[in-house]
């Protein structure tokens, strides 16, 4: 992969990278299409990164269908898929982590310790192997996007980070490879997240500005759905990811819930 990318850089061909864990849905494919518009050639990495999963999470059961993924990615027009083996990425004795401070403490960082260190370490390795000009990430994982932008700035990688809006099902559910875990009743309950975004926007328009008030109403609404437990519902500044006391246009609503055994996240800038 490194030789392939180096040869293209030598020829002046620009490269965009789309890092993924595979089991593609239309959200992934939109990121790939965007990448195709932004660079001469596009590499999609497909790697279920073990070091970003905590104990008891779904590393062993994460859905996979490499053949289908390769076919879909080819149809979109990407140039190459990078499918490294775990031992290649993490040979015996691997002992390093990239750490981004502060931004990794809140939201998913508080409930998934070590998760973002795992994410930025693998993304850093992919950046070093491929040295792309551009990398495209989804706003679905908003905190991840903010952290990667920060890492790239702090560590002087000359890579343009592009965020792509969340792609949703017709009924509002944010697309996710993990949606395949949901039973049909859980799938109905999962709509609590996108509905909470609509509700937050309406309440803000109607004049509810106090974060504590809005959060308690949103949590009650989410919990009224069968089988749902809340990991966090937060209103934060979109740059620092710190809680806000008063909500304003541009504040970020970020949520993580469990529906049965499935952990789902969603977020939106309230405009």
Binding residues for ligand AMP (CB under 6 A): 20-21, 27-28, 31, 137-138, 140-141, 164, 166-167, 174-177
d(CA 179, CA 132): 30
Determine contact, residues 17/131, Cβ cutoff 8 Å. Answer: no
Bridge partners, 189 (sequence order): none
Residue nearer to ligand AMP on the CB measure, 124 or 138: 138
The encoded tokens of residue 238 equal 């979109």
**Minimum distance between the CB of residue 212 and ligand AMP, rounded to whole angstroms?**
29
| Element housing 71 (H / E) | helix 66-76
**Minimum distance between the CB of residue 20 and ligand AMP, rounded to whole angstroms?**
4
Which residues are within 8 A (CB) of 90 and not within 5 positions of it... i.e. 6 or more apart? Answer: 50, 51
Residue nearer to ligand AMP on the CB measure, 133 or 141: 141
**Minimum distance between the CB of residue 184 and ligand AMP, rounded to whole angstroms?**
20
Residue number of the CB closest to ligand AMP reads 138
Residue nearer to ligand AMP on the CB measure, 20 or 251: 20
As annotated, the active-site residues are 28
- Measured CA angle at 114 (ends 112, 119), to 5 deg: 100
**Minimum distance between the CB of residue 30 and ligand AMP, rounded to whole angstroms?**
6
Residue nearer to ligand AMP on the CB measure, 126 or 214: 126
Residue nearer to ligand AMP on the CB measure, 30 or 211: 30
Which residues are within 8 A (CB) of 11 and not within 5 positions of it... i.e. 6 or more apart? Answer: none
Q: List, in sequence order, the alpha helices (H) in 81-239.
A: 86-89, 108-111, 115-130, 142-154, 184-189, 191-205, 211-223
Bridge partners, 136 (sequence order): 162
d(CA 94, CA 213): 47
**Minimum distance between the CB of residue 147 and ligand AMP, rounded to whole angstroms?**
12
């Amino acid at each position: 992969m490194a030789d392939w990318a180096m040869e293209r850089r030598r020829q002046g061909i620009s490269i965009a990278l789309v890092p993924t864990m595979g089991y593609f849905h239309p959200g992934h494919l939109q990121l790939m299409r965007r990448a195709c518009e932004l660079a001469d050639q596009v590499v999609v990495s497909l790697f279920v990164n073990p070091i970003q999963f905590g104990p008891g999470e779904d590393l062993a059961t994460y859905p996979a269908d490499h053949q289908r993924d390769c076919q879909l990615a080819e149809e979109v027009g990407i140039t190459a898929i990078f499918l490294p083996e775990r031992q290649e990425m993490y040979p015996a004795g691997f002992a390093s982590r990239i750490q981004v401070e502060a931004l990794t403490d809140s939201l998913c960082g508080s409930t998934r310790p070590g998760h973002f260190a795992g994410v930025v370490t693998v993304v850093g390795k992919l950046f070093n192997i491929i040295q792309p000009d551009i990398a495209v990430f989804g706003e679905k994982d908003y905190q991840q996007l903010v952290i990667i932008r920060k890492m790239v700035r702090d560590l002087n990688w000359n890579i343009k980070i592009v965020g792509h809006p969340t792609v949703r099902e017709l009924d509002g559910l944010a697309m996710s490879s993990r949606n395949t875990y949901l039973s049909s009743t859980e799938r109905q309950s999962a709509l609590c997240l996108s509905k909470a975004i609509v509700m937050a926007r309406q309440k803000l328009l109607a004049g509810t500005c106090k974060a504590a008030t809005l959060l308690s109403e949103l949590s009650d609404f989410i919990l009224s759905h069968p089988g749902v437990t809340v990991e966090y519902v937060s209103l934060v500044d979109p740059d620092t990811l710190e809680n806000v006391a008063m909500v304003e246009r541009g504040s970020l609503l970020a949520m993580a819930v469990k529906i049965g055994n499935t952990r789902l996240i969603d977020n939106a800038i309230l405009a």
